């Protein structure tokens, strides 16, 4: 590609060295041994040191509670530099053919695939989830980039014949500089989910990770650089609410895509509205999982575990309201409690671990508080819901808890109405299909839903009636990149993944061509 040909061999070797530096330490790394000192910002094709070290915030390793690195929030001047860098890259990238963009994106996907184990290890150290899960997250990331590389060359408009030989056509054009604001639960994957469709359409993106997980987005930036994107096409700025505010207000930002809480999403929407910017919001959820008596019980139990305990329960689309038809409630509870008690909690870098540490001490305390509140309101703890201290001494300060199953729940309980964002499953009985659909939809959220049944008519009937962006039938929490993901109601709007997301990172221009004379009414 033309800009790759113009890169000097010196510049390319430097970027190769950068992208490898942190990752090269990963094979020998173990929980409690890593300390990161490299700058975490990235624009103009390189890591950028903070202008000043004040306001630095410690970033903790969840499994040990020790400080992993320092995160220094970007101020107005740094945000300005990053956006200017992104805009300059956009002017180059947007002029390239879709197939040219695709080749660079495919190279980025290849590099990620090649380094998946190293990236996953770094992700686990920063995020706390098990290495088994982060390996899947990294695979989904390169698959996302590969998928949108495949779509980049297909972007096209429409030709419309008009009377008298005149015609019109449409052009699908990029938006410009897009901002992505990520969450702590899937740091690398969310950066890929937001950057891949944006870049496929010809945009540049400035990405702000969660201040609790700032480490791996900059690795993705280095990989894009190594693959051959123009310097500045994928920038990383670190920070919290103040930095996010600067990004949302910036006049050169065309779109903001946010993943996070409803409260913050409302603020992002409000700030973006002042500049009439396009917005995609992927917000919280309190999703229902409906288990009918005619289900395959073994699969339903496995589905309930997948719906509640991935990433220590810190997943926005988790099916945390588990409605079980009364006739099979005893069998379901017996089996789900047995399986939950058997979940291996501990060092997230060990292959045998199935649940790691929650993201922070405040989050752990918040989740334990929800369990205590549930007990006060009459729920019965069947297992878990307590702080967990692994036997390994280096994990004593980690943010672990035992996964929890709550019985005797009612729809008006706090644990059933509010998003807990931790490993807590609330189980509720139901009698009829009509009743449970009404109860399932009685929420301000609408991100996901699920149903387990052998009755094919019921499955599709329930799916139609669920007021949610996704309905899983006889499974839960699978997110193939080919299908759209997003919410109804207060869970947000816009979509990520699937072909439709191209529409959220592009705009249509209509061109009308007159082949004859102008009709004159005057």
The torsion angles phi and psi of 104, rounded to 5 degrees, stand at -70, -45
6: pLDDT strictly greater than 50: no
Q: How many CB atoms lie within 10 A of CB 436?
A: 22
Region 332-352: mean pLDDT is 98
Distance CA 340, CA 383 (A): 8
Helix (H, G, I), strand (E, B) or coil at 328: helix
CA-only gyration radius of the chain, Å: 24
The predicted-structure confidence for 31-84, as pLDDT tens digits, reads as follows 999 999 999 999 999 999 999 888 999 999 999 999 999 999 999 999 999 999
279 bridge partner residues? 256
Distance CA 365, CA 401 (A): 10
Active site residue 57: no
Q: Which two tokens stand for residue 251?
A: 């006049």
Which band of pLDDT confidence, cut at 50, 70 and 90, is reported for residue 21?
confident
Stated pTM of the model:
0.95
Region 100-125: mean pLDDT is 98
The predicted-structure confidence for 309-323, as pLDDT tens digits, reads as follows 999 999 999 999 999
What are the angstrom distances between the C-alpha of 198 and each of 127, 140, 195, 265, 467? 25, 17, 5, 20, 28
What are the angstrom distances between the C-alpha of 134 and each of 138, 156, 519? 6, 35, 64
Identify the pLDDT of residue 78.
Answer: 98
The torsion angles phi and psi of 223, rounded to 5 degrees, stand at -70, -40
* Angle at the Cα of 312 from the Cα atoms of 190 and 428, rounded to 5 degrees: 110
| Alpha helix (H) residue ranges in 181-277 | 187-200, 217-227, 241-249, 262-274
445: pLDDT strictly greater than 60: yes
188: pLDDT strictly greater than 50: yes
Identify the pLDDT of residue 3.
Answer: 42
The predicted-structure confidence for 214-271, as pLDDT tens digits, reads as follows 999 999 999 999 999 999 999 999 999 999 999 999 999 999 999 999 999 999 999 9
* Closest by CA position to 79, among listed 203, 266, 239: 239
Q: Does residue 123 contact residue 135 with C-beta atoms inside 8 Å? A: no
Mean pLDDT of the chain: 96
- Catalytic pick among 100, 123, 133, 282: 282
Identify the pLDDT of residue 17.
Answer: 53
Identify the pLDDT of residue 8.
Answer: 42
Distance CA 286, CA 418 (A): 7
Identify the pLDDT of residue 19.
Answer: 52
12: pLDDT strictly greater than 70: no
Which band of pLDDT confidence, cut at 50, 70 and 90, is reported for residue 1?
very low
Which band of pLDDT confidence, cut at 50, 70 and 90, is reported for residue 22?
confident
């Amino acid at each position: 590609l033309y800009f790759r040909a113009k890169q000097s061999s010196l510049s390319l070797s430097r970027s190769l060295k950068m992208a490898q530096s942190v990752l090269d330490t990963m094979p020998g790394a173990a929980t409690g041994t890593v300390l990161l000192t490299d700058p975490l910002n990235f624009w103009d094709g390189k890591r950028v040191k903070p202008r000043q070290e004040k306001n630095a915030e410690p970033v903790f390793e969840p499994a040990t509670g020790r400080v992993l690195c320092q995160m220094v929030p970007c101020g107005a001047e740094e945000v300005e530099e990053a956006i200017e860098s992104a805009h300059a890259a956009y002017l180059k990238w947007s002029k390239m053919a879709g197939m040219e963009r695709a080749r660079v994106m495919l190279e980025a996907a290849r590099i990620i695939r090649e380094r998946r184990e190293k990236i996953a290890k770094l992700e686990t150290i920063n995020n706390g989830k098990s290495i088994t899960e982060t390996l899947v997250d990294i695979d989904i990331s390169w698959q996302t980039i590969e998928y949108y590389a495949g779509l980049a060359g297909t972007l096209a408009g429409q030709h419309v014949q008009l009377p008298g030989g005149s015609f019109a056509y449409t052009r699908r054009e990029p938006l410009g500089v897009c901002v992505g604001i990520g969450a702590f639960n899937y740091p690398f994957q969310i950066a890929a989910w937001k950057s891949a469709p944006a870049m496929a359409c010809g945009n540049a993106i400035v990405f702000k990770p969660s201040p609790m997980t700032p480490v791996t987005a900059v690795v993705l930036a280095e990989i894009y650089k190594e693959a051959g994107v123009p310097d500045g096409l994928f920038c990383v700025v670190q920070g919290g609410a103040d930095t996010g505010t600067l990004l949302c207000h910036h006049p050169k930002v065309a779109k903001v895509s946010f993943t996070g809480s409803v409260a913050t999403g409302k603020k992002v929407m409000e700030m973006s509205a002042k500049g009439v910017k396009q917005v995609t919001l992927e917000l919280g959820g309190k999703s229902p999982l409906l288990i009918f008596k005619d289900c395959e019980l073994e699969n339903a139990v496995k589905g309930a575990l997948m719906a509640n305990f991935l990433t220590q329960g810190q997943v926005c689309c988790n099916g945390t309201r588990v409605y079980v038809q009364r006739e099979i409630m005893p069998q379901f509870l017996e089996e789900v409690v047995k399986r939950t008690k058997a979940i291996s909690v501990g060092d997230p870098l060990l292959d045998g671990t199935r649940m790691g540490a929650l993201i922070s001490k405040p989050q752990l305390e918040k989740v334990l508080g929800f369990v205590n509140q549930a007990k006060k309101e009459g729920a019965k703890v069947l297992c878990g819901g307590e702080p967990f201290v692994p036997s390994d001494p280096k994990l004593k300060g980690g943010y672990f808890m035992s996964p929890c199953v709550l019985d005797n729940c009612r729809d008006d309980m706090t644990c059933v109405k509010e998003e807990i964002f931790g490993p807590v499953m609330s189980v509720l009985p139901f009698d009829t299909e009509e009743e449970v659909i009404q109860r399932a939809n009685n929420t301000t959220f609408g991100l996901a839903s699920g149903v387990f049944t052998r009755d094919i008519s019921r499955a599709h009937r329930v799916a139609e009636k669920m007021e949610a962006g996704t309905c899983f039938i006889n499974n839960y929490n699978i997110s193939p990149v080919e299908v759209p993901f997003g919410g109804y109601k207060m869970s947000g709007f816009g979509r990520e993944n699937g072909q439709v997301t191209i529409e959220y990172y592009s705009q249509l221009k209509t061109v009308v061509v007159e082949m004859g004379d102008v009709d004159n009414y005057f």
